[in-house]
């Protein structure tokens, strides 16, 4: 099941959200994400949150109300609930603006899904982010995204090899504090990223 997760970060550009909603099998709003759903004319299937930033939504929809004081963020609570309901992949939107601690926490959902044998993608108006857990992964070159960058999550990536990109890399080592693997570009209909050891975020991006 393909789930669209609408988070509560500040967002005003909804053009990228609407097509994703049309392709989703199930739509979940995390707390204030309801505002974004309403702005897009999207009817969610489920709303999860503590509603500490606003009142419970006036939707004819299932609502799971959380306690304001809890260990999990609203978005992680939504992710857990999506997995319980059979999610295979989750697309996160409206999750990148606002507070940096929330933004980084939101990105961590991708690794959480990987650890649970599922996949996720983090999308905003200029970026698409996925998690690379090692091995070789092949990506179709999407003309909507000019650049591809690799951001290490571990102290080092070893055995990094890029094929089908403008800047080819072979069996390289990349440290987390000196990541020279940003702003590469696809140079073929598909490209591959191999990581022998380590985990990373793969970020496809575009200029305005």
Read off the CATH number of the domain in which 143 is found. Answer: 2.60.120.320
SS3 content of the chain, % helix, strand, coil (to 5): 20, 35, 45
62 pLDDT above the threshold of 60: yes
Residue 76, phi then psi, degrees to nearest 5 = -65, -40
Question: 148 and 49, same structural domain?
Answer: no
Give 52's pLDDT tier (boundaries 50, 70, 90). Answer: low
Task: Report whether 167 contacts 95 (CB < 8 A).
Answer: no
CATH number at residue 44: 3.40.50.10240
Which sign, positive or negative, has the C-alpha torsion 129, 131, 92, 67?
Answer: negative
Q: Name the residue with higher pLDDT: 2 or 8.
A: 2
In terms of Cα–Cα distance, which of 19, 20, 26 is closest to 3? 26
Domain termination site, one of 98, 125, 152 = 125
Question: 91 and 66, same structural domain?
Answer: yes
Question: 89 and 150, same structural domain?
Answer: no
Give 18's pLDDT tier (boundaries 50, 70, 90). Answer: very high
Question: 121 and 32, same structural domain?
Answer: yes
Give 8's pLDDT tier (boundaries 50, 70, 90). Answer: confident
Question: 44 and 76, same structural domain?
Answer: yes
- Number of structural domains the chain divides into: 2
Burial class of 104 by CB neighbour count within 10 A (0 to 12, 13 to 18, 19+): exposed
Q: What is the mean pLDDT of residues 44-59?
A: 74
Predicted TM-score (pTM) of this structure: 0.92
Question: 69 and 8, same structural domain?
Answer: yes
What whole-number distance in Å separates Cα of residue 70 and Cα of residue 67? Answer: 6
Domain assignment of residue 38, given as a range: 2-125
Question: 73 and 46, same structural domain?
Answer: yes
Angle of the 100-107 helix axis to the 74-84 helix axis, nearest 10: 20
Tell me what the pLDDT averaged over the chain comes to. 92
pLDDT at 139: 98
Instruction: Of 65-74, 153-162, 170-179, give the lowest mean pLDDT range.
Output: 65-74
Q: What is the mean pLDDT of residues 86-114?
A: 92
Burial class of 186 by CB neighbour count within 10 A (0 to 12, 13 to 18, 19+): buried
> How many CB atoms are closer than 10 A to CB 48?
25
Give the chain's end-to-end CA distance (angstroms, integer).
32
Give 57's pLDDT tier (boundaries 50, 70, 90). Answer: low
pLDDT at 69: 64
Domain termination site, one of 125, 155, 171 = 125
184 pLDDT above the threshold of 80: yes
Report the alpha-carbon angle 136-153-9, nearest 5: 110
pLDDT at 143: 95
Q: What is the mean pLDDT of residues 148-167?
A: 96
Domain termination site, one of 61, 92, 125 = 125
Which pairs count as long-range contacts for 184-187, CB under 8 Å and 24+ apart, including other chains? 184/147, 184/148, 184/149, 184/150, 185/146, 185/147, 185/148, 186/139, 186/141, 186/142, 186/148
Q: Which helix (H) or strand (E) holds 147?
A: strand 147-152
């Amino acid at each position: 099941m393909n789930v669209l997760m609408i988070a509560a970060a500040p967002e005003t550009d909804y053009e990228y959200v609407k097509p994703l909603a049309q392709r989703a099998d199930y739509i979940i709003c995390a707390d204030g994400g309801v505002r974004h759903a309403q702005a897009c004319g999207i009817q969610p299937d489920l709303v999860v949150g503590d509603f500490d930033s606003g009142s419970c939504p006036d939707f004819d929809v299932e609502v799971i109300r959380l306690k304001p004081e809890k260990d999990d963020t609203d978005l992680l609570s939504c992710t857990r609930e999506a997995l319980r309901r059979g999610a295979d992949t989750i697309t996160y939107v409206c999750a990148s603006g606002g507070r940096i601690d929330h933004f980084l926490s939101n990105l961590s959902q991708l690794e959480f899904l990987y650890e649970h044998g599922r996949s996720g993608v983090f999308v905003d108006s200029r970026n698409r982010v996925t998690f690379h857990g090692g091995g070789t992964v092949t990506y179709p070159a999407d003309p909507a995204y000019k650049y591809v960058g690799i951001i290490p999550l571990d102290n080092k990536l070893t055995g990094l090899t890029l094929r089908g990109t403008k800047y080819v890399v072979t069996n390289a080592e990349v440290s987390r504090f000196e990541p020279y693997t940003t702003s590469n570009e696809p140079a073929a209909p598909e490209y591959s990223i191999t990581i022998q050891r380590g985990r990373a975020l793969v970020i496809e991006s575009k200029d305005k």
